[in-house]
């Protein structure tokens, strides 16, 4: 691939950089803040930032122009996400822009596009993802949330888990079983629904880092219009695979890990760490650059009209494992003080962010497809190995 921007791409990169530098909230650019997309909707700073980006017309720049986007090329979208990440600033498109909108554009009816896309584009509709269930995580097709047709509505009963940001989102996209007798991949349908419907209960859960973004959601005779089913009945698995195809280069995550490593280098200098830790830090930085190069490769494949498959799994596997390794090595480099949370009489490092990052990094090798799943995809689709 060509690593150099064309003149048009260089101008676009500079335009994005100037906008972020001039408009992004200062608190987004503090040290040790992950440079990844935020999917939340309740934080006032995030809401204000989303409004600024929406007014700029950059909330969904990769959407076709006829649906309110800018019709950016894959590489222009990649450049935009990279520049936001380099400024430690989340691109506030979130799941609605990155996943639901493109899915509705490809699989939705004209009426669904007219109803659902404007709310996503102006930032009013913030989506959570209702996929995983207590018995359906890596084996997502084993889901049991039941959707039964009743006239012009579906009645939903069951449970979802790990529903990120469900307390701060006002819409959800989800998978439900509409034919319990069909093979498990063929009896699933894809829906969207407002969260404030009768019978839908959201229960926050506390994660290892003390956060409350993960939730359980319960459906007790929840009625949603049949018009909120996207695509054909019982073909939702294939619609969902379209959803999961979008935004797979992982550049924001790769940049985020690299910035966190550079933060660690600065903290190590200030703490006068012993020389044997220098090699550990150098190895981490080299690995972070590998992660960025892998993201560039995926973006270049998409830019040439190809569909990355195992290449995306390679990026996800390498970046998430590196994220975990970097946060673990930060504790080794900084010593016992790195384990202390904020409020430890001033002995904590960087207001306890190192300790919180360590706890928060544990799910990175699970969320979005476990490392074991990614290795299976790479082995089968990348290396052509038979199933074990």
* Distance, CA of 300 to CA of 340 (rounded, Å): 42
Which residues lie below 8 Å from residue 278, measured CB to CB, with a gap of 6+? none
Task: Tell me which DSSP letter residue 206 carries.
Answer: -
Beta strands 127-130 and 146-150 are unpaired
Active site residues: 247
The length of the chain is 388
Phi, psi of 46 (to 5 degrees): -65, -40
Calculate the alpha carbon distances from 65 to 10, 56, 60, 97 in Å. Answer: 22, 15, 10, 14
What one-character-per-residue DSSP string does 268-304 give?
Answer: HHHHT--THHHHHHHHHHHHHHHHHHHHHHHHHHHHT
Q: How far apart are the C-alpha atoms of 170 and 166, rounded to whole Å?
A: 8
> In the chain, which ranges are continuous DSSP H helix?
7-23, 44-56, 74-86, 94-95, 101-107, 110-121, 236-245, 251-271, 276-303, 310-334, 353-361, 371-377
3-state secondary structure of 108: coil
What are the beta bridge partners of residue 235? 188
- Measured CA distances, 169 to 96, 163, 165, 276, 281 (Å): 10, 10, 6, 46, 38
């Amino acid at each position: 691939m060509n690593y150099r921007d064309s003149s048009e791409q260089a101008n676009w990169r500079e335009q994005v950089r100037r906008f972020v530098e001039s408009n992004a909230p200062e608190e987004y650019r503090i040290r040790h803040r992950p440079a990844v997309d935020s999917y939340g909707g309740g934080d006032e700073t995030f809401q204000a930032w989303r409004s600024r980006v929406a007014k700029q017309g950059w909330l969904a720049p990769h959407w076709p122009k006829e649906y309110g986007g800018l019709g950016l090329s894959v590489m222009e979208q990649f450049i935009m996400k990279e520049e936001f990440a380099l400024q430690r600033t989340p691109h506030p498109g979130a799941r609605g822009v990155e996943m639901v909108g493109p899915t509705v554009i490809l699989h939705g009816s004209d009426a669904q596009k007219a109803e659902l896309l404007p709310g996503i584009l102006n930032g009013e509709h913030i989506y959570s993802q209702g996929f995983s269930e207590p018995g359906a995580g890596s084996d997502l097709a084993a889901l049991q949330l039941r959707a039964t047709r009743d006239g012009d509505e579906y009645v939903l009963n069951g449970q979802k888990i790990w529903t990120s940001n469900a307390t701060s989102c006002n819409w959800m996209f989800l998978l439900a079983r509409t034919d319990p007798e069909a093979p498990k991949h063929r009896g699933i349908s894809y829906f969207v629904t407002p969260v404030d419907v009768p019978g839908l209960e959201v229960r926050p859960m506390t994660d290892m880092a003390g956060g409350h973004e993960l939730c359980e959601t319960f459906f007790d005779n929840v009625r949603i219009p049949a018009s909120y089913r996207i695509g054909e009945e019982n073909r939702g698995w294939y619609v969902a695979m379209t959803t999961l195809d979008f935004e797979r280069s992982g550049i924001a995550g790769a940049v985020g890990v690299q910035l966190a490593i550079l933060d660690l280098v600065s903290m190590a200098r200030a703490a006068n760490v012993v020389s044997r830790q220098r090699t550990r830090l150098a190895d981490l930085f080299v690995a972070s650059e590998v992660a960025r190069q892998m993201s560039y490769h995926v973006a270049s494949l998409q830019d040439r009209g190809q569909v990355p498959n195992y290449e995306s799994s390679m990026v996800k596997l390498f970046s998430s494992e590196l994220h975990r390794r970097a946060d673990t090595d930060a504790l080794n480099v900084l010593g016992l003080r790195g384990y202390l949370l904020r409020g430890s009489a001033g002995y904590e490092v960087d207001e306890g962010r190192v300790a919180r990052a360590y706890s928060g990094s544990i799910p990175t090798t699970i969320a979005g497809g476990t490392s074991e799943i990614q290795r299976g995809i790479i082995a089968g689709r990348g290396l052509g190995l038979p199933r074990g």
